[in-house]
Each structure stands twice: as structure tokens, then as C-alpha cells.
Amino acid sequence: MISKENIIKRFISYVTIDTESDPASNTTPSTKKQWNLANKLAEELKAIGMHDVTIDDNAYIMATLPSNVDHDVPTIGFISHFDTSPDFTGANVNPQIIENYDGQDIVLNASENIILSPDYFDDLLLYVGQTLITTDGTTLLGADDKAGICEIISAMEYLINHPEIKHGKIRVGFTPDEEIGRGAHKFNVEKFDADWAYTMDGSQIGELEYENFNAASAVVKVKGKIVHPGYAKGKMINSMYIAQEFINSLPRLETPEHTHGYQGFFHLHNIKGDVEETVLEYIIRDHDKGHFEARKEVMQKLTNELNSQYSREIITTEIKDQYYNMKEKIEPVMHIVDIVEKAMIQLGIEPLIKAIRGGTDGSQLSYMGLPCPNIFAGGHNFHGRYEYVPVESMIKATEVICKIAELTASEK
């Protein structure tokens, strides 16, 4: 049995260390404070008996659990990230433990009237009778993805202490800066040397994902002309009005708040403007590669049309691809998904196989030559004050890791 007490203790020891990443930084890791947890994790891996524990100059951690079988078994890996999102503060995290959750509102912070309610977050009702770890309402929790790290280390410790469970060689990797899109950028796939791997970075118990968005960023710059407004007739060009034309010309219902499932979108996430220049920052997302390319063409065509309308290059649009749908790299090796599904079923977990409406390090790693589906870590409401994780989900995720290792060693 995986120790509930040890899971809670380990998890809390991680989330109380601030590891918020910083997109404005050019270093790796992007914040020095990430080293505090990185060094702790490296020492902990050594303490539980892992082999070949390394931490490089960019804080990427790798370690090995040697095989305990005498026949050839594929080398598998498990990967999580230790940074937390800059969307909400991760400093001074004060976790609260809710035993035997009763299905009612949870008061996170009485003085500020911050309530975690199943009336709004109905997933809470899935966990009645379980133990929840929540925030105190003033920070995020950090289950994304310190829950995944907790599960991986706990699984390795369990396998070390239970040699009767047969497994092949297992590699583990922990990365910085995933939350700012750089988690895989300096990941040494050759050094990791696994046949395939799994990120433990999903949400609800049972989630198993091998599809994600194709993603691009778009920066639209609109140039205007500023003159004195009293003498502006026929001379002033207000970039903000033209930017508004651009915004209104894109499909209004193809935005995040109006789409779900496999539906893609254009997302305007930042505007900065005055009369002389307005800058629009978009992200473009779609699971289907053809639709993804079409969305980029729509933005470029709109740019050209407005430039033609104003008889000058008044708009420039720069589009950069960010990552691609890992489905293309996973489908040829679907047995790595089938193993997880079988592991979950044997553990009494209903597999929830769905497409990620976002990205994952597994996408970039898959295109770097390491096929890497994503498995649940158990947390909910990531990146904000309402984040929580059921302890029982973390225990089940730990069991899934052990079962995957066992099945990989026993099946051809």
C-alpha cells in the first residue's frame, strides 16, 4: 500500500517552496528560487536509492531505477516539472488539509470571504469522503506539477522497497520552466535514453492524453499617425480604430470562451495601444493541422485586406509556430497508450482519454524523439487560488506508475 501520510508529507514539503517561473527572464531556470526545490529533489532521489542522479547547469534533474529482471525490457521514463505558473503567486503557500470532505462549501479564507464551492466547481463532488489539500485562498497550490513529482518519487521509492514487483529500467526527469513554455527546450533526450516516457501532468483522476493543440503566437502591429486633434481631418490615422476593425473581423465565436472539445480558436490575450501604434497579441490553437494552417492564413489574409483598404502597409502580422499535436508521433506507437489504459483498468480507474486543450512538454518531447503521452496527476483548478488536489488521486497516480512499470516488464 502507498502510504497516505507519506504522500501528504512529501507533497506539502514541495508546495511550500516557491518555484514560480518568469517569462521575462532569459535564464534557465528563469528564477533562481527554482534551484531551492531542484537541489532538494536531487538529494531526495539519492536518499531513496535512485542511481545516476544528475542535475545539470540548467536545473534539469535525471535519475535511474535499474531493471530487476534478467530479460530485455524497454526503458521507460516519467517526467514532471517543478516550476509553478506566474499567473498567480506561489509565494508563502499555506496548504489546508480537509479530511473526509462532506460535499459542502470549503472556506479557504474567512477574512477575505474566499470560498471553494461545489456550486461553481462541481468536480468537488467527485471526491466526497476523500482528503483534499487546498490553498488558503491567497496563493496557488502548486499541484501543477508538484503532485506529479510527488507521485513519481513515491512510486520509485515503493518499487525500491518492493523488489518483488518486476520492472525494467526506469528513468525519471524533472524540469524547470514548463509553465512558461520552456520545459523541454533544454531537455537532453539522448542523455535521458528512454524508449518512451510519460508526463505526470494531467488533472482529474483517469485522464490519459495523447493529443494536444497545434499552437502559434501572432503579434499584430497597427501603425497610425498622430496630429493635433483640432487639425486632424484627413490627416490623423487612429491605430486603435483599425485594430478594432481587425479584432471584429475575426470569427467572434471562435474564441476560448465559446469553444470546447476539438474546436480551435483565436485568442486575443493582450492589447497595448495609442493613436500612433496598437499592438495585438494573439494565440492560435487547433487540434487539426489543416485547420491550424487555415487559421494562420485567415489572419494573414485579413492583414493584407486592411492594408489594401488603406492603400498602405498599415498592419504587419508576425506569426510563429510554438508546438504541434503530439498525436502524429504517438499513433505509430499506440502500445504506449494501451499500457496505461490497461494499468488504470486493473487498478479500478476509469480511463478518460481526451485531447488536451493546451500544450504539454510531452508534445515537444515527442517531436524531439521521445514519445510522451500525459497521465493525470490529480489536481484541479490549476494556476489560481481555488486549486486543490485529492490525496486519494495522488495515491492512485502513484499506483498507476508502478503498474505501468510492471506491465512493461511482463508484456511483449
383 is in an annotated binding site: yes
Q: Mapping DSSP to helix (H, G, I), strand (E, B) and coil, where does residue 243 land? A: helix
Domain range for 164: 4-211+325-410
Count other C-beta atoms under 10 Å from residue 40's C-beta: 14
Q: What band does 411 get if pLDDT is binned at 50, 70 and 90?
A: confident
Q: Is the dihedral of CA 114, 117, 121, 125 positive or negative?
A: positive
pTM: predicted TM-score of the whole model, two decimal places: 0.90
Q: Which of 264, 295, 323 is the last residue of a domain?
A: 323
CA distance 278 to 97: 47
**Does 144 show up as a binding residue in the annotation?**
yes
3-state secondary structure (DSSP) of residue 141: coil
Q: Examine the domain organization and report whether 135 and 29 are in the same domain.
A: yes
pLDDT per position as a tens digit, 265-304: 999 999 999 999 999 999 999 999 999 999 999 999 999 9
Regarding whether 196 and 241 lie in a shared domain, the answer is no
Q: Are residues 92 and 185 in the same domain?
A: yes
Say which residues have a Cβ less than 8 Å from residue 34's Cβ, sequence separation at least 6: 19, 21, 59, 82, 83, 176, 177
Q: CB of 160 within 8 A of CB of 51?
A: no
In this predicted structure, what is the pLDDT of residue 359? 81
| Tens digits of residue pLDDT in 320-376 | 999 999 999 999 999 999 999 999 999 999 999 999 998 888 999 999 999 999 999
β-pairing, 170-175 vs 61-65, is antiparallel
Q: Are residues 266 and 201 in the same domain?
A: no
Phi and psi at residue 138, to the nearest 5°:
-110, -10
- 11 and 122 share a domain? yes
The three-state secondary structure class of 109 is: strand
Cα–chain center distance at 379: 11
Q: Lowest mean pLDDT: which of 27-36, 133-142, 345-354, 356-365?
A: 356-365
Question: So what's the pLDDT on residue 9?
Answer: 98
Supply 294's cell numbers: 487555415
Check which CATH number belongs to the domain holding 200 and give it: 3.40.630.10
Spatial distance between the Cα atoms of 196 and 37, rounded to a whole number of angstroms: 26
Both 310 and 379 in one domain: the answer is no
Q: How many domains does the chain have?
A: 2
* 201 labelled ligand-binding: yes
222 and 311, same domain (yes or no): yes
pLDDT tens-digit map of 205-246: 999 999 999 999 999 999 999 999 999 999 999 999 999 999
Tens-place pLDDT, residues 78-99: 999 999 999 999 999 999 999 9
Domain boundary among 267, 298, 323: 323
Cβ-contact 334, 398 below 8 angstroms: no
Residues 366 and 278 both lie in one domain: no
Local structure of 98: helix, strand or coil: strand
- Indicate if the pLDDT at residue 160 is higher than 90: yes
Looking at the structure, tell me whether residues 91 and 218 fall in a common domain.
no
Q: CA 345, CA 356: separation in Å to the nearest integer?
A: 21
pLDDT tens track for 367-400:
999 999 999 999 999 999 999 999 999 999 999 9
Looking at residues 162-167, what average pLDDT do you find? 97
What pLDDT shows up at residue 358?
84
| pLDDT value of position 260 | 94
Amino acid at 51: H
We report the CATH number of the domain holding residue 219 as 3.30.70.360
pLDDT, mean of residues 164-178: 97
Rounded mean pLDDT of 142-149? 97
Let me know if 9 is exposed, middle or buried by CB neighbors in 10 A (0-12, 13-18, 19+).
exposed
Residue 123 annotated as binding? Answer: no
DSSP-assigned states of every residue in 20-43: B--TT--SSSSSTTHHHHHHHHHH
User: Grid coordinates standing for 87?
Assistant: 499567473
C-alpha grid cell, residue 345: 483498468
Taking alpha carbons only, the member of 105, 7, 17 closest to residue 391 is 7
**Under 8 Å between Cβ of 21 and 38:** no
> Cβ contacts of residue 23 below 8 Å, gap of 6+?
30, 86, 180, 181
User: Nine-digit cell at 76?
Assistant: 521507460
Distance CA 400, CA 349 (A): 9
Choosing from 323, 340, 360, the residue where a domain stops is: 323
pLDDT over 90 percentage in the chain: 96
Query: Which neighbouring-strand residues pair with 283?
Result: 217, 267
The pLDDT of residue 412 is above 80:
no
Same-domain check for residues 350 and 231: no
Residues 60 and 179 in one domain: yes
Q: How many CB atoms lie within 10 A of CB 140?
A: 24
Residues 59 and 187 in one domain: yes
Q: Enumerate the β-bridge partners of residue 278.
A: 222, 273
Separation between Cα atoms, residue 32 and residue 151, nearest integer Å: 25
Does 335 belong to an annotated binding site?
no
Name the average pLDDT for the chain.
96
Catalytic residues: 83, 178
Does residue 181 register a pLDDT over 90? Answer: no
Q: Where does 126-238 have alpha helices with state H?
A: 143-161, 189-192
Predicted confidence band of residue 311 (pLDDT cuts 50, 70, 90): confident
- Of the candidates 224, 191, 185, 183, the one whose C-alpha atom is nearest the C-alpha of residue 85 is 183
